[in-house]
Structure 1
Amino acid sequence: MRLDLFLWYARFAKSRAVAQRIAEAGTLRLDGRRIERSSACVRVGSVLAFPLHGRIRVVRVEALPARRGPPAEAVIHYSSLDPVTPKGVDVQDGAA
């Protein structure tokens, strides 16, 4: 499946044109490789890392969607691997 279609079907982008811009910006990584084209092929098991709305999204493709459905349907096609940032007190070096 094309990368831009997956981003649009999985609801990471509001339109296919926005999905193409995300893919062609040069900031998206597909299985660790920098991608600059929206026609790159996405497969089940592929890992995507890209900036979106001020944070880095890391997702694994679990299934290839057949259509752009409702958000509840879209989330079953990927699993989030986003790095978890700890909340609470900041730990400083040398603190006992």
Structure 2
Amino acid sequence: MIRLDKWLWHARFFKSRSLAAGVVSGGKVRVDGTPVSKPARNVGPGDVLTFTQGDAVRVVKILDCGTRRGPAPEAQGLYDDMSPVPAPHQPAAPKYDGKGRPSGKDRRDMATKGPFALE
């Protein structure tokens, strides 16, 4: 058994243990479907963790507790990644067909017809 924040740090999901503890304290981690808010919660092999990392939702099954924060290949052996396949990434800015800078009317048309249109 190992502390949850320590395991997340060992498995290299977070750069520091304090970042891992902050995510757990914020109630953003679930252990076997139950929300956890204490970084000192003990976890062990067989537990399933669900948490967000950036824009992705991670679902991992703990295989081993580990003894140190080793290199990435060693850290990847601590868990089995069961995360859903992420949706294809949509570019932040729409393409404009290479005709130069869009005019004010073109930008208004993009705002009413584009993927981020307000309705």
TM-score range, shorter chain: 0.7 to 0.9
Look up the match of 1:77. Answer: 78
Task: State the distance in 2 between where 1:43 and 1:86 align.
Answer: 30
The CA RMSD over aligned residues, in Å, is 1.1
Q: Greater Rg, structure 1 or structure 2?
A: 2
Report the 3-state secondary structure (helix = DSSP H, G, I; strand = E; otherwise coil) of the residue aligned with 2:65.
Answer: coil
Deviations 1:68-90 (A, max 9, x none): 00001000000001012466xxx
Number of aligned pairs? 87
Equivalent residue for 1:28? 29
- 1:74 to 1:37, Cα distance in 2 relative to 1, 3 A: same
Q: State the identity %.
A: 38
Shift of residue 25, structure 1, vs aligned partner: 1.1
Say whether residues 1:64 and 2:71 are aligned partners: no
Where relative contact order (Cα < 8 A, 6+ residues apart) is larger, the structure is 1
Letter in structure 2 aligned against 1:23: V
Deviation, structure 1 residue 27: 1.6
4+ residue segments displaced more than 4 Å: none
8 Å contact from structure 2 (residues 60, 82) kept in 1: yes
Give 3-state SS (helix, strand or coil) of 1:22's partner: helix
Runs of 5+ unmatched residues, structure 1: 88-96
Q: TM-score w.r.t. structure 2 length? A: 0.70
2-structure distance, mates of 1:6, 1:85: 24
User: Residue in 2 aligned with 1:40?
Assistant: 41
